[in-house]
Structure 1
């Protein structure tokens, strides 16, 4: 790493150093797994206070953005209270120049998504309050004006479950569902016909939904069961 221009220190089998990029200084930890022929790299972005917790909306946005990244992915280190950007690199014939290029690429990804993680300061658990979801509107009305659904949306239930949905203009989607602190991610194709929205996952699971939208930054999604009955209604708000 010295050859690549860094000042590393060793700690429990890992190499630690700091990387300057734009206006940030990112702590980086790299561990070589010889048997797996790979290098695990963790770039820490935010270290939260001991009594703080990351809000669901921020975590969902980061998890949704993972599906749009190549190689690197965002994660929350619960034990050390850190939001990190991680990547697994090949250890085969790797050179200092390649390592530095990979780190610059990772830091550039962090910079592009800084509008999400840089605003995170954490909320003390003792002060955290549950927020009730927006009031549901009545049954979907096909006469409602049609707004674009492209973008990232979030919704929550009084049970504590939370959802993040990213709809891309090219007809793809990413959906993150958080329940009891665990996140489930799915992605696939999305089609819309009037107020009917169909999400067809890469796992072959299809969600047939109805959209009710009267304003540009909010919409209600009614997810139907196999018999066509409404199984759940989610009130989504567009992420800013």
Structure 2
């Protein structure tokens, strides 16, 4: 119970930190809305009165693109930047000396950031619906399972970003690796192009990796493109990736911790 209260304190501190940079948050929201407008207008023109493309109707595509953009605001993680900054400043020494696991501390910080970002998403969602397009979920099951898929996406992205952040224990500055990761993740997540439109081998690769839950899987469930057995298999894959990434996080963190102690942390 004491540890739970401590992690909650981390979350509250993270919310306060995020609110100190309200201008940045709202600027990100503005850019997201602009991106929604550009994507939805581009795809509307690309349809050229065709009833469907790769199984997506125009209405489904617009909702998919709007949702995937809003999801990015919720799922996006600053952990790699936070970890690198604390390694450079030496503050990481205080982090690892606390009676709480370092990965747990970072995930609690991420949860606080997400609470703030989610509140902004709820504020801008009506405007996003007006500029892009939103509709009711394809079915009751889709409406119930959509947030589950988003939660998987959040957890997978947080774990992946934490792993990228740990590279700072060896490189100090992980900006290049972090930027490369964001580009690869956004592409393989289907943020701008649904996975069903990708060439066969690339689609198979993207479908097997955890990135799909960052954008494609939740939005595709919502609009009814992923359902039934395919949806169940997707959740099983996500759960498997969570287990793999948690184990990998523990392994790499132990090595990073030993490195910190060896160098006089």
Q: Report the TM range for the smaller structure's normalisation.
A: under 0.3
Asked which structure has the greater RCO (Cα within 8 Å, sep 6+), the reply is 2
More strand by share: 1
TM-score by length of 2: 0.22
More helix by share: 2
State which structure, 1 or 2, has the greater radius of gyration over its C-alpha atoms: 1
TM-score by length of 1: 0.24
